[in-house]
Amino acid sequence: MKTFRLLPLFVAVSVALALPVQAQSLVDLYQSARGFDASYQSAKSQYEATLAKADQARAAILPTTGLSAGVSRTHLENNNPVSDRSYGSQSVTLSASQPLYRPANSASYEQGKKQVGLAQAQLTSAEQDLIVRTSQAYFDVLASQDSLTFVRAQKAAVAEQLASAKRNFEVGTSTITDTREAQARFDLVMAQEIAAENELRVRQIALDQLVGKSDAKPQSLAQPLALPALLPNDVNVWVAQSVAEHPGIRQTQIALEVAQLETKKAEAGHRPTLDLTGTYNITQNNGSSGGNADFRTNAATIGLSFNLPLFAGFATQNRIRETLALEDKARNDLEGAKRAVAQSTRIAFFGVLSGQGQVKALEAAEASSQSALDANKLGYQVGVRINIDVLNAQSQLFDTKAKLAKARYDVLLGGLRLRQANGTLKADDLQGVNTLLAK
């Protein structure tokens, strides 16, 4: 009876193992990469460490307390007159201090708060880099799959043409040249197929390593495919967005603000400090050198501690000069970052426009190449075209198909790179690519 009960489960498992691997969308593989990629996990750990470090700066404006205790024992020997005496004491001291006026500590606290924004910008940059790397690996696999498919289709077409040339030679309607030309083209396509298989294997390994899956299977694009328009279609709008959104610009902006606070810290070297201090001490004495009486002392103290620096060997003045120079450096770095981001945004924008134009041109070239192939095949059949003409037309058609598929992937990836260039790229942007995938 147990054997019959286990049979349905065995059949179900066998059927499940026989099913093809479920294809994953770009969003699915990005989520996998987000939890597996070592570079992104390192950035997350750095983000958490920076948050903890930022919280440390708050300690500079909070009170500090300490507890100390001590025990001592004294043995006294006196030979004139002979007398020995032992006595001891125990003490406990509680101390506390609260900064009232410390400009340098306040500046350090403000710098700590700035570090939170800096950490967030760094993590955002790591996320955008992961999105682009995952998309690049995803489309690389699809492009390699397409190339292999087109090469195999070309091989089948060349094999058909080779067989036709051999038949025509046997019946005497064509020369041996046609057969040898077809055989040479077939051997060339065989070599291309081997190279395409290896390229697909290498890119599949790269995708698997990135997302932490074995044999990840990306979904292909739906056919026919209409690429989305580039909106807004104004490069100046994209550049303007980068000023407020780009994590690299935010990092350099925060670096400038931190440098300005560092100057305030240096200037605080000329200013006084004021602290509120307090101590409470309990001392228990078990005798003394003059007698054996026990007594206890409780002492509470509260006061203000004032410190005014007068001269430090010109260290403070030179420190201010240093921080002012570093502040100018940070300001120049910010301006350089804005210019670099604007340039990369413009390059990415026009790259997408160029890619869209190439797609339209290749679509027209594909239709023309197909017509040319059909015409050459018909001409070969009626004797006005030779075999090499058909083979060349086939090569041109399949080469055009491969370039068109690659150009479409480049446009989709270019749209993501454009958003990365101006700093607006988010994981939600992958949903737009998902809608173009085959269901």
Run means of pLDDT, 10 residues per run, the chain, 439 residues: 37 38 89 95 94 87 94 77 73 95 93 92 96 97 96 92 87 84 92 96 96 92 90 94 93 96 94 95 79 81 94 92 96 97 97 96 95 91 83 91 95 97 95 91
DSSP run (H or E) holding 306: strand 291-307
What's the CATH class of domain 26-62+102-271+309-434? mainly alpha
- Alpha carbon 149 to its chain centroid, in Å, reads 32
Rounded Cα distance, 16 and 269, in Å: 73
CA–CA distance, 169 with 377 (Å, rounded to integer): 17
- Structural contact between residues 220 and 171, judged by C-beta atoms closer than 8 angstroms: no
What is the structure's pLDDT at 291?
62
Q: Residue 294: its pLDDT value, please?
A: 79
Instruction: Give Rg (Cα) of the chain.
Output: 39
**Residue 19: what pLDDT?**
39
How far is Cα 42 from Cα 39, in angstroms, rounded to an integer?
A: 5
Q: Where are the domains of the chain?
A: 26-62+102-271+309-434, 63-101+273-308
* 63-101+273-308 has CATH 1.10.3470 classification: no
What are the Cα distances from residue 284, in Å, to 71, 302, 371?
9, 21, 108
| Phi–psi pair at 153, nearest 5 degrees | -65, -40
Note the pLDDT of residue 5. Answer: 40
Provide the pLDDT for residue 83.
63
Model confidence, pTM: 0.85
Burial classification of residue 23, based on how many CB atoms lie within 10 Å of its CB (0-12 exposed, 13-18 middle, 19 or more buried)? middle
Token couple for 367:
């239709």
* pLDDT recorded at residue 3: 39
Nearest by Cα to 297 from 273, 321, 280, 319: 280
Number of separate helices (H) and strands (E) present in the chain: 10, 4
Q: How many residues does the chain have?
A: 439
Q: Rounded to whole angstroms, how far apart are CA atoms 433 and 133?
A: 15
Q: What is the pLDDT of residue 88?
A: 83
CA distance 373 to 378: 9
Q: How far apart are the first and last CA of the chain?
A: 43
